Amino acid sequence: MQRIRLRYTKRGRLRFTSHRDFQRAFERALRRAEVPMAYSAGFTPHPKVSYANAAPTGTGSEAEFLEIALVEHRDPEKLRQLLDESLPTGLDITDAVEARTSGLADRLTASVWELRLEGVGPEEAGHAVSVFLNAESVEVERRMKNGVRTFDTRAAVVSLEVTPPRSDRPGDGPCAILRLVVRHVTPAVRPDDVLSGLRAVADLAPPVPAAVTRLAQGLFDEESGTVTDPLAPDREAATAGLRQAAGTAAAKAPEGAGSA
C-alpha cells in the first residue's frame, strides 16, 4: 500500500465550505481522477483518507493537509495534477509527497494566520496588540458542544504583530493586517478567539468581520521561532532513499563497467 500526503487550499468563496463539504468534493475528485484508492473493511467501505487539523468554516487557508492510501503505486506529482484538475478552483492541490515517515498529525503543532481588519487603522490595532501581549492571561468564552467554556488565549499565542498593508488591497479605507502565530493546544485557540481577546482587553471591535487566512501550519521551531513545512521530512527521506539506491547500484556495478 502506498501513502500520499497532500497539501491543499481553501481560497475565495470556497473558504465557506465546511469540512464535510470538502470531503464530498474530494471523494468525487478521487473518482474522476480514477485514483486506485484503498478502502476500509466492513459493510460500508469508504476510501482511506486521513484529514489533519482542518481550518474552521469561513476561514481561508493555504496550508491544509491530508493523507490517502493507494493499492497501486502512483507518481505523487502526476497524482497531484489529476486531483487538482478534478476539484473546483479555490480548492487547489498544491503539493504531494509519498509518505516515508510517520506522524504527520504530530508535526502540526502551530499555525500562522493572517487577519485582515477592514475599518481598523494600524495604530489602533498596534495598541490593542501591545495590550494583549503584555497581559498575563486573556480569558474568553466560546460555546462548545458541552456548553459555554472559558479559557485563556494568551498562553497559546507565540507572536502577534501588525504587518504593512498590501498594495493590492481594494478600497481606500483603513485596514490593519495582523500576523498571528499560535500553538495548537487543547482547547484549540482560534483566530476568532484572539479577536475576542483583543476586544476584551483593548475594546478593539472591527466594523466588519475579519478576513482570516491560514498561511502555514507545521512543527514550531523553538530556536528560529518559525513554523516549518510538515512535508519536508518526507521529501528528505525520499532524497536520501534515492542516494542510497544510487550508491548501492554503483557498488554492484562490475569493475570497469562503462570504460572504453
| Position 204 pLDDT exceeds 90 | yes
Question: Could you please report the per-residue DSSP string of 125-158?
Answer: HHHHHHHHHHSS--EEEEEETTEEEEEESGGGEE
The percent of residues above 70 in pLDDT, for the chain, comes to 90
| Position 246 pLDDT exceeds 90 | no
Residue 106 is predicted with a pLDDT of: 93
Give domain limits for the chain: 2-106, 108-221
pLDDT in tens, 39-73: 998 888 999 999 999 999 999 999 999 999 999 99
| Position 220 pLDDT exceeds 80 | yes
pLDDT in tens, 125-144: 999 999 999 999 999 999 88
Neighbour tally for 153: CB within 10 Å:
25
Residue 144 is predicted with a pLDDT of: 84
Residue 260 is predicted with a pLDDT of: 43
Domain 2-106 in this protein, CATH class: alpha beta
The CATH code of the domain at 108-221 is: 3.30.70
Residue 245 is predicted with a pLDDT of: 63
Q: pLDDT averaged over the chain?
A: 91
Report residue 165's pLDDT band, with 50, 70 and 90 as the boundaries: confident
pLDDT in tens, 72-84: 999 999 999 999 9
Residue 171 is predicted with a pLDDT of: 63
Over residues 32-39, mean pLDDT:
96
Residues 243, 244, 248: CA angle, nearest 5 degrees? 120
More confident residue, 231 or 42: 231
Measured in degrees and rounded to the nearest 5, phi and psi for residue 19 equal -60, -40
- One fold for 2-106 and 108-221: yes
Residue 146 is predicted with a pLDDT of: 83
Q: How far apart are CA 79 and CA 146, in angstroms?
A: 41
In one-letter notation, the amino acid at residue 212 is V
| Position 155 pLDDT exceeds 70 | yes
Residue 241 is predicted with a pLDDT of: 66
Residue 251 is predicted with a pLDDT of: 66
What are the cell numbers at 9? 487550499
Residue 50 is predicted with a pLDDT of: 95
